[in-house]
Structure formats: C-alpha cells, structure tokens
Amino acid sequence: DIQMTQSPSFLSASVGERVTLSCRASQNINKYLDWYQQKLGEAPKLLIYNTNNLHTGIPSRFSGSGSGTDYTLTISSLQPEDVATYFCLQRNSWDTFGAGTKLELK
Amino acid sequence: QVQLKETGPGLVQPTQTLSITCTVSGFSLTSYYMQWVRQTPGKGLEWMGFIRSGGSTEYNSEFKSRLSISRDTSKNQVFLKMNSLKTEDTGVYYCARKVRGTGVMDAWGQGASVTVSS
C-alpha cells in the first residue's frame, strides 16, 4: 500500500502570507495527486486534481506542483476563509489520504 | 445542481450492521462511479469501496469481508452495508462522486455521523 505523509501537521500563518503545504508518497504516484480542503464540520472539498489542475470555482491563489513522490500545495496570499485542514490524496494505486495539515491564522 | 446526501442510523450497537443510504441528484449513477469514504478519529480518511457506473464493485481489502455496496438507479440511491461493527468504526461516512476515467472525487455528501456503542 502507498503511504502518504503530510507536513507540517499544523501551520500558523498571517493573512496575505504565502503558504506551502507538502505531501510525500512512499513510492512514485505519477502525479495522481489531489488536494482537498476540509472546514470544521464540513465534507472535504476538491481544490486541485492531478497535481496542478484547479477544480472549477477554486480561487487562483491555490496552486499545486510536484512529481514522483513529492507534491506541494501553495496558497499565494492566505485569506481568512482558508482556515481549514488540507488533505492530499493519491489515486495511483487505489486511494490513500494523508493525515492532513491544519492551517490557522496567526 | 449536483447534490449528494447520506442518511444513516446515527447510533449502532457493536456487532450489528450499519446501513447508510446516499441519495443523489443532478447527475446519473450510470455515468459516474460512487465511492464511500469514512473519517474516523483513529485512522483519518479511508476509502472503503466504490460502485462503477456499470454496477460492478471494488472494496478496500481492509473492509472487504464485511462491506457491501449496491445501488438502485431508479431511485438515484447508493447503499453501504457493513457488518460486525466495532467501536473503532465510529466516525463520519461520506459518499462521493468519482469521475469515470479519472477517478477524481469531485463532489461529496455532507456525511453521516455514526457512533458504535452499546
């Protein structure tokens, strides 16, 4: 089974700051990597699929990159509504989620 | 407008069977796969299994022996049944639409909270 490791587990940042979240797979996942945002009490919401494709309606301040085993979600200018937990998901071999990065405002 | 909604029992006793229904609107079950994902305090988010647009199923080996996924396309409903529940199965159960061909889960229900307790 492919394991997904997210870092950091917790991040505190200021409004307007550039934020980078990481996800590492235990083996090559061929860019089959998605990012989800989950706000408290809500279902996960798709932000980015296949590493760098922005889902419909998602603000352009969100972007993704990566290849092989290492992937990144970047928020170019953090907004108050971005407070949430962010999960990565690999779909190269069945589905495996990361444990999440909890993002809060400083 | 694409909508998914899970309905479940809320509380289930250990060893009993969990049944959850996902009712969808705004799209056809014959055009998309439907996946069940759960979120538990102990293991976080886990895919449980899915039913393809043609009706065949795949299950996570972790749940294979006690999980069944089925559907009624005439009612736009997908069903999850899992037996031999344990306290560790307590969590939120989501149904999600999975795009055929890509496997991307692009729409989720709001989740059904399940507590396994006597």
**Does residue A46 sit at the B interface (CB-CB below 8 Å)?**
yes
Cβ count within 10 A of residue A40: 7
- Reported as a single tens digit per residue, the pLDDT across B83-109 is 999 999 999 999 999 998 889 999 999
Q: Do B108 and A44 touch (CB under 8 A)?
A: yes
- Count of alpha carbons within 13 Å of A13, Cβ hemisphere only? 24
Omega into A59 within 30° of 0, i.e. cis? no
- Which residue in A32, A43, A99 is closest to B108 by CB distance? A43
A99, two tokens: 């444990």
- Which residue in B60, B102, B109 is closest to A43 by CB distance? B109
Q: Do B108 and A95 touch (CB under 8 A)?
A: no
Between CA B116 and CA A79 the distance in angstroms is 38
pLDDT at B100: 87
Between CA A50 and CA B110 the distance in angstroms is 24
- Reported as a single tens digit per residue, the pLDDT across B44-90 is 999 999 999 999 999 999 998 899 999 999 999 999 999 999 999 99
pLDDT at B64: 81
**Chain mean pLDDT for chain B:** 96
All residues of chain A having their beta carbon less than 8 Å from the beta carbon of residue B107 are 46
Alpha helices in A1-106 (DSSP H): none
- Reported as a single tens digit per residue, the pLDDT across B7-34 is 999 999 999 999 999 999 999 999 999 9
- Which residue in A55, A87, A100 is closest to B106 by CB distance? A55
- Reported as a single tens digit per residue, the pLDDT across A8-65 is 999 999 999 999 999 999 999 999 999 999 999 999 999 999 999 999 999 999 999 9
- Write phi, then psi, for A87 (nearest 5 degrees): -120, 140
Q: Do A46 and B105 touch (CB under 8 A)?
A: yes
